[in-house]
Amino acid sequence: MSFTIAEIAQHINGKIVGDPNYIICGVGTLSSATSTQLSFLSNNKYKKFLSESKAGVIIVGEGLANSVNTNAIEVANPYVAYAKAATFICVDEKQLAKIHHTAWIDDSASIGANVSIGPNVSIAENVTIANNVRIAAGTVIEHDVSIAESSDVRANVTICYGSKIGAHVLIHPGVVIGADGFGIANDNGRWIKVPQLGSVVISDYVEIGANTTIDRGAIDDTFIAEGVKLDNQIQIAHNVKIGKHTVIAGCVGIAGSTTIGENCAVGGGSGVAGHLDIADGVQLMGMSMVTKSIRTSGVYSSGIPSEPSHTWQRNIARYRQLDKLFDRVKALEVTEKPQS
b/e per residue 212-224 (b: at least 16 CB within 10 A): bbbbbbbeebbbb
142 vs 40: CA distance, rounded Å = 43
Phi-psi category of 144—alpha, beta or left, where left has phi over 0 and alpha has psi -120 to 50?
Answer: left
Task: Give Cα 240 distance to the centre of its chain.
Answer: 16
Question: What is the Cα–Cα distance from 2 to 24, expressed in whole angstroms?
Answer: 6
Helices (H) and strands (E) in the chain, counts: 4, 38
Q: DSSP secondary-structure letter at 294? A: B
- Bridge partners, residue 231, by sequence: none
Residue 275 annotated to the active site: no
The active-site residue out of 101, 143, 168, 238 is 238
As annotated, the active-site residues are: 238
